[in-house]
Structure 1
Amino acid sequence: MDLEPQVVSKLELEAVIGFNGHVFSGLRVHPDREHLIYPLGSTVILRRIKDGKQEFLQGHTNNVSCISVCKSGSYIASGQVNFMGFKAAIIIWDYAQKTIYAELELHKAKVEALAFSPNDKYLVSLGGQDDGSIVVWNIETKQAICGSPASAASAGHCLALQYSNTNNNVFVLAGSGTLRVWELDLRNRKIRPTECRTGKMKRIVKCVEISEDDQYIFCGTTSGDIMKINLKTGLLIDCGPEKTKYSLGVNVIRTLKSGDLLVGSGSGTFTLCSRTNFKIHKEVQLEKGVTSIALRGEGQQFFVATETSQMYCFSYDDFKAELISTSHNGAINDVAICFGTSELFATCSAEDIRLWHINKPKELLRITVPNMTCNSLDIMMDGHSIISAWNDDKIRVFAPESGRLMLIIHNAHRMGVTAIAGTRDCKRIVSGGGEGQVRVWELQSHGHRLLGTMKEHKAMVTSIKIKSNDKECVTAGSDGACVIWDIVRFISLQMVLSNTLFRTVCYHPEEYQIITSGTDRKISYWDVFDGSAIRELEGSDSGAINGMHFSQDGRHFVTGGDDKQVKVWDYMEGEVTHVGIAHGSSITSVKLCCNNSTLISTSGDGAIMRWRFPHPPSSS
C-alpha cells in the first residue's frame, strides 16, 4: 500500500540582513522611487526606502546573478547561476502582485546580464562564459523571439548589456574584445550586430551606459578608462581620463539628467565627472570596490553599493556618503542570541563580531580584530560579556555595549580556538581547539585561571554544549567522536563514535539525550547515560548538516547545512514539518530565540535570515 507523501510547509521569511555586493549593478531603485531592489542568495529583496520594510521574491533555485527593472516598473527580471551542464533560469516578476509572471530557460550555467526594452515589450538576456549567447524574449508571449552568439569566435566573453533608451530594436553588448550594437529585425526574427570601430584601442569592457538621448555609449574598462562612442556610427570619439585612470578598473557608470557621469571604480573611488572630457567634479573614496549605482528619480539622490556589501545614500548637492546598510560579505561562522531578551544577537566572521537588533535589521556594534578570524562565540547568560574563539589561539571577551576588550586569554589552544561556550553562572568558559583539547577556564575579577585540560579528541573540536547544572558538557569533534565530560572533575563520562566528521551537537532540553549531525548527512539521537544509539534520521539529501538547535520545550529542533535549506523537525516523529529556502550558500549556523518565536540562520555568503518559527511553545 502506498503511503501518501508527507506535506512539508514553507517557513515564513520575516527579514534578511545582507546584500550580494558582488552582483554588478545588482542594486536598483524601482521607478515608484519608494523601493530598493537587490539580490541576496536565491532571493530578490524589495526594501522600502522610507522605513526599511522588506518584501521577498522567492522562486530561484540558486544564487541570483543579475537584476533588471523595466521603465514602467511593472516587471522585474532576475537571472541566476546553476551547476555546469544545467539550464540557468530567468524569472520575470509581476511587481504589483509580487508573483512569478514567467520563467524562461535557455542559457546554460549562468545568466550574466538582463535588459528591458524602453516599451517593456522585450527582454534581452546574456548567458555567462559557458553559454556565450544572447536571446531576445517577447514578454507578452513569454517566448524567445531569436538568439545569437554574443561575440565573434575570436573574441572573449561578454560582460555587459544595455538597451537603448528610445529605440526598442537597439541594444549594446560589450566584453573582452567585443563591442557591438545590435538591431532587432522583428519581422524576420533576427538580430544583427554592427561592430564598433575603436581602432587600435583594445579594451575589456566591464560596464556599458547609453546617454539618455541615445547619442553616446560610455564603456567602463578594466584598464581604468572610459570609452565614449557614437551610437549611430559606432566610432570612438574619446577615451579618458588621460592623466588619472581609475584604479582597478571602472565597474559601473550611470548618466545623470545633466549629462554628467557617475563613475564607480574597483578601488572604491566614486566620482561625478563631465561627459565631454571626463574631468572629475566631485570625488569620494569608499571602502572597497563600487559595484552598483542606482538613481532615484531625476538623480538628485542616488544609492551606491560596494563589494563589501555596504550601501550608501548620496545627494547630488553635497555628495556626502551616508551609510544606510551594512552586512557581512564573507562566511558567518557562528551566531549567538542573548538569553532572556531575545532582542539582540551576535554574529562572527573573518575579522569581526557584529551585534544586531532582532526586529530591526541594523548593525548596533562592530568589534574588529584585523587579519584574524572568529570561529565561534557565545553571549554569557547575564548579557554582560561576549566570549569569542579566534584562529590566533586566543580567547577574547568583549563588553556587548561598548565592544571594549575585557579579557584576552593568550595561547588558549594550539592550532586555533575552534569552539566556545559559557556556563550559566557566568563564572567559567569551556573551549575547544584545533588540536582536539577541551579546556575549562575560570573568569576572575582581574584575569583568568586554567582549571583543567581534557584530551580525548584526536582532531578539531567543532561544537560545545554545557548542561544546565554547569557540571557536565558535551563536545563534538571532526574525529567522529562526541564526548560527555565532567567539568568539575575534568574526566570523560561517555563517548559516542560515528563514521562522520561531527559538526554540531545539542542536548535535548530534558538532558537525557543528545542529538548530533555532521558530514554523513545523518541526524543521530544518543542516550546520555550509556552512549547507545537511539535513532538515526536522513537529515539532508546533499552535503553536511552544520547547525542545529532545540526549541525550549524540546518538541522541535531546527537544522541547516550545505543543502542551503532551513528545516524544522518534530523531535518525536523524526519528520520535517517546515522548510525555508532563501539562502544561496551553505548554512553555517541556526539558532532559535528562547521565546520560540524567531529563528535566525546564517550562511557562507554573509547572509543573515530571520524566520518566523511556526510552532508556538507548548503550554505544559
Structure 2
Amino acid sequence: MSEGASCLFINLIKPLKRESINSDMCVFCVLRVLSGRVPSGLRLHPDKQHLIYPLGCTVILRSISDDKQEFLHGHTNNVCCLSVSRSGTYIASGQINFLGFKTTVFIWDYAQRSVYAELVLHKAKVESLAFSPNDKYLVSLGGQDDDSIVVWNIETKQAICGSTATSHVARHCLVVQYSNTDDNVFVSAGSGTLRVWELDVANRKIRPTECKLGKLQRNIKCVEISNDDQFLFCGTTSGDILKVNLRTGLLSDFGPVKAKHSLGVSVLRVMESGDLLVGSGSGVLTLCSKTNFKMLQSIQLEKGVTSITIKDTGQQFFVGTEAGLIYRMSSDDFKAEVVFTSHTSAVKDVVMPFGTSELFATCSDDDIRLWHIDKPKELLRIPVPNMTCNALDFMIDGHSLISAWNDCKIRAFGPETGRLMFTINDAHKMGVTAIAGTRDCKRIVSGGGDGQVRVWELLPHCHRLVEIMKEHKATVSSLKIKSNDKECVTASVDGTCIVWDLERFVGLQRMIANTVFRAMCYHPEEHQIITSGTDRKIAYWDVYDGSIIRELEGSQSGAINAMHITKDGGYFVTGGDDRVVRVWSYMEGVVTHVGIAQGGSITSMKICSNNRILVTTSADGAIMQWKFPHPPSS
C-alpha cells in the first residue's frame, strides 16, 4: 500500500446536535481489504483501474495503481453480494437484514460515487445480483427466506416483474448470471436447480426453462457463461463442472471424473482462450482445459477461493480468498503474489509501542499482526490456531508483546521475531480479557472473564502470581496502570470501575454506573479517568474520591466500545456500534471532528504519540488509519 493513499469524505460529515463539526478529518488507509465470505465479492471495474469489494456495510473502490481508496456508504447492514455493469456505469450491492424485514439493493453511479437508486422488495437477504449486457436491467435474487427473483428497469428504477426462484420448497437458489449478449436471458442456479429464464418485457413476465441434467444430481455454487453465450459452466459442491447448452438446456459434458476439486468448486471464470479458472473450497486454484476439464496448472492458496477477476486479455487476474487475501497472478507462470492481506474476523485490540509512532499491533481470532504505519503493510504475523486474542500490550522496554487469550493463557512474544518467550497457563478461569505491563517491566496485571484482577511478577527465568484481587462480579473489559506503577484502574461489564492499590492490593475507590463498561482511559495527569459503555455516555470521574465530574452524550445510537486520549490530554477519541469516529475536546466536552468510513462496529482505537495518526479497528476485521486533525500542543 502506498503512503499516498487517501480519501477525504467531507460530504459524509454528520453533525450531532449542539456540536461544532469541521470537515477535514480523513481516512487514508484501510488494512482490511476483502470480505472473504462474500461469493465473488472481489470485482474489477471495466476501466481496469479499480478493484471493487465489500467491507462490512461499505463498498470500497481501490485504485490498483496507487492504492487510493474511496467508500460508498448507505447500507445499514453487511453487504452480501456485488455486481458491476458491463459498461462500468453502475455498481449494484445487496445486504443482509433481520428475518422478516425488507432488505435493500443499492445501485451506485460509479462516476459520481453516489446512490443512483434504492430498490426494496426482497426480505432478509439479497443472495445475488447481475446486470444485463447493455445496462438495461438488473436481476436480483432473494435469500432462502425470500426465494424470489426480481427484474428491475435501471432507467425507471422500478421492478418490471418477479417470480419464485425455484419450483420446489426443498430447493434453494444461490446465484443468478446474465447472458453476455441478450438483455432478455439470464440463468439461476443453486441446490438442485438450474434454470434459464426469458424476460418478456411487454407482458411483464419471466418464464423459466428447467435444464435437463439426466441422472446427475448436483448442488450448484457458481455459474459462468461463455463469451458467445453458447454454454453454461456450473461449479458444484461435488467438485466437478457441468457444461450445459444455453439454448437447449441439455447437459453437454461434465468433469473431471476422477481428480475432482476438493471441497467443491466455489468460483469459475472463462479465460479469453476459453479455458477455465477454477477456485475450490480447499484453496486450490486450477487452470482447466475447455475441452475435457483436465487440470493444466494448479496452485495452493491460503483458505478457500471466493473470487476471481480477470484483467487485460486474460493473462493477469486477481484472486480473493476466505483468508481476506488478494493475490495477483498470471496465466503464463501461474505464480501467486500477495498484494493485500488482512484479518478475517473482528479485531479485538490495537496497541502501539511506547514512545514510537512507526509500528502498531492488532489481534484477532487465530493471530497477532504487526504493521508499519507510514507504508502500511503486514510486517509480522504470530499465529495461534483456534484461539482468540482479546487484548495486547507492548512492554515499555520494547522487548516483548504480552497478550491475553480466551484459552485462559497469557502469552509473551518477541515483537521482532514473533518467537514465544513465555506462557502463563491458567491465568484466569474464564479466559484472559484485559492486560497491561508496568513501566518497570517487572510486573503484568491481567483481568479475566471471572472478574478477577491478578498481578504477576516476571523473574529472569520464570514468573509467579503475586496477588489476586476480587471485587468485580463479571468480565474485566479494560485495564490501565498508573505511570508510577502503584495503582491501576479496571472497568467491568458489571457496571463498576475500581481503582486498585498495587502495593497493598486493595480497592481504593469504586465508581458505579448503570451501564456495561466497555472502555476507559486515564487523563495524562492521572487525576481523572473517562469511561464509556452501553449507555452511550462518556463520564469523567475523579480518581481520588470516585465522584462523577461530568457526563456527556457520546452517541445517538449504539454502545461506545473504544476510546483513547492524546498524550497532552487535550483531545480524546471515541467509537462504537454506530461506526462513527468522534474527536472530542477534553476541556470543552464537545466534538470537533467526525469521521465516517468504518463498515462495522468500532472495537478499539489508538492515537500515535505525535498526534499524527489515529488507528481504529472494527468488528468486520478492518483496520483504518486516519489523519488526526489536532497537532500536539507545543
TM-score under structure 2 length normalisation = 0.91
1:329 corresponds in structure 2 to 344
Cα distance in 1 for residues equivalent to 2:300 and 2:227: 27
2:107 corresponds in structure 1 to 92
Match of 1:287 among 302, 310, 314: 302
Of stretches 223-232 and 575-584 in structure 1, the one that deviates more from structure 2 is 575-584
Q: CA deviation at 1:173?
A: 1.0
- 1:436 is aligned with what amino acid? G
2:437 corresponds in structure 1 to 422
Match of 1:14 among 15, 28, 34: 28
Q: CA deviation at 1:570?
A: 3.7
Q: Is the 8 A contact 1:335 1:589 kept in 2?
A: yes
Q: CA deviation at 1:148?
A: 2.5
- 2:59 is aligned with what amino acid? V
Q: CA deviation at 1:266?
A: 1.3
1:298 corresponds in structure 2 to 313
Q: CA deviation at 1:171?
A: 0.9
Of stretches 520-529 and 33-42 in structure 1, the one that deviates more from structure 2 is 520-529
1:370 corresponds in structure 2 to 385
Of stretches 542-551 and 568-577 in structure 1, the one that deviates more from structure 2 is 568-577
Cα distance in 2 for residues equivalent to 1:361 and 1:173: 41
- 1:17 is aligned with what amino acid? L
Cα distance in 2 for residues equivalent to 1:585 and 1:313: 27
2:273 corresponds in structure 1 to 258
Of stretches 580-589 and 239-248 in structure 1, the one that deviates more from structure 2 is 580-589
Of stretches 229-238 and 571-580 in structure 1, the one that deviates more from structure 2 is 571-580
Cα distance in 1 for residues equivalent to 2:414 and 2:19: 47
Q: CA deviation at 1:249?
A: 1.6
1:343 corresponds in structure 2 to 358
SS in 2 for 1:179: strand
Matches for 1:430-579 after TM superposition, within 5 Å? 430-579=445-594
Q: CA deviation at 1:42?
A: 1.5
Q: CA deviation at 1:221?
A: 1.6
SS in 2 for 1:332: coil
Q: Is the 8 A contact 2:71 2:597 kept in 1?
A: no
Matched, 1:605 2:597: no
Cα distance in 2 for residues equivalent to 1:583 and 1:571: 24
Q: CA deviation at 1:596?
A: 2.3
Q: CA deviation at 1:246?
A: 2.1
1:127 corresponds in structure 2 to 142
2:428 corresponds in structure 1 to 413
Cα distance in 1 for residues equivalent to 2:166 and 2:598: 33
Q: Is the 8 A contact 1:89 1:106 kept in 2?
A: yes
Of stretches 413-422 and 576-585 in structure 1, the one that deviates more from structure 2 is 576-585
**1:443-488 alpha-carbon deviations (Å, 9 max, x no partner):** 4444445444333223322211112222221011233221111223
Of stretches 181-190 and 437-446 in structure 1, the one that deviates more from structure 2 is 437-446
Matches for 1:140-159 after TM superposition, within 5 Å? 140-154=155-169, 156-159=171-174
1:54 corresponds in structure 2 to 69
- 1:12 is aligned with what amino acid? C
**1:334-384 alpha-carbon deviations (Å, 9 max, x no partner):** 111233332211011122110011233321100112333222101233433
Unaligned 5+ runs, structure 2: 1-15
Describe the shift of the 1:278–1:482 C-alpha distance in structure 2 as closer, same or farther (beyond 3 A): same
SS in 1 for 2:263: coil
User: Number of matched residues?
Assistant: 617
- 1:607 is aligned with what amino acid? A
Matched, 1:137 2:152: yes
Cα distance in 2 for residues equivalent to 1:88 and 1:137: 15
Matches for 1:583-598 after TM superposition, within 5 Å? 583-598=598-613
Q: Is the 8 A contact 2:279 2:305 kept in 1?
A: yes
Of stretches 279-288 and 380-389 in structure 1, the one that deviates more from structure 2 is 380-389
Q: CA deviation at 1:73?
A: 2.0
Describe the shift of the 1:61–1:129 C-alpha distance in structure 2 as closer, same or farther (beyond 3 A): same
Describe the shift of the 1:496–1:6 C-alpha distance in structure 2 as closer, same or farther (beyond 3 A): closer
Cα distance in 2 for residues equivalent to 1:29 and 1:296: 7
SS in 1 for 2:348: strand
Cα distance in 1 for residues equivalent to 2:229 and 2:414: 57
Unaligned 5+ runs, structure 1: none
Describe the shift of the 1:335–1:70 C-alpha distance in structure 2 as closer, same or farther (beyond 3 A): same
Q: CA deviation at 1:252?
A: 0.6
**How many percent identity over aligned positions?**
71
2:286 corresponds in structure 1 to 271
Matches for 1:34-45 after TM superposition, within 5 Å? 34-45=49-60
Cα distance in 2 for residues equivalent to 1:7 and 1:181: 56
The two structures, once aligned, show a CA RMSD in angstroms of: 2.3
Q: Is the 8 A contact 1:155 1:178 kept in 2?
A: no
TM-score under structure 1 length normalisation = 0.93
Cα distance in 1 for residues equivalent to 2:391 and 2:476: 11
Q: Is the 8 A contact 1:41 1:582 kept in 2?
A: no
Cα distance in 2 for residues equivalent to 1:85 and 1:360: 45
- 1:419 is aligned with what amino acid? A
Cα distance in 1 for residues equivalent to 2:550 and 2:47: 54
Q: CA deviation at 1:306?
A: 1.1
Q: CA deviation at 1:79?
A: 1.8
Cα distance in 2 for residues equivalent to 1:12 and 1:190: 47
Q: CA deviation at 1:607?
A: 1.6
1:389 corresponds in structure 2 to 404
- 1:563 is aligned with what amino acid? D
**1:562-614 alpha-carbon deviations (Å, 9 max, x no partner):** 33333333434444444444434332212222222322221223221222333
**1:533-560 alpha-carbon deviations (Å, 9 max, x no partner):** 2233343455433222123333332222
2:8 corresponds in structure 1 to none
Describe the shift of the 1:282–1:539 C-alpha distance in structure 2 as closer, same or farther (beyond 3 A): same
SS in 1 for 2:247: coil
Match of 2:124 among 95, 100, 109: 109
Of stretches 63-72 and 42-51 in structure 1, the one that deviates more from structure 2 is 42-51
Q: CA deviation at 1:618?
A: 4.3
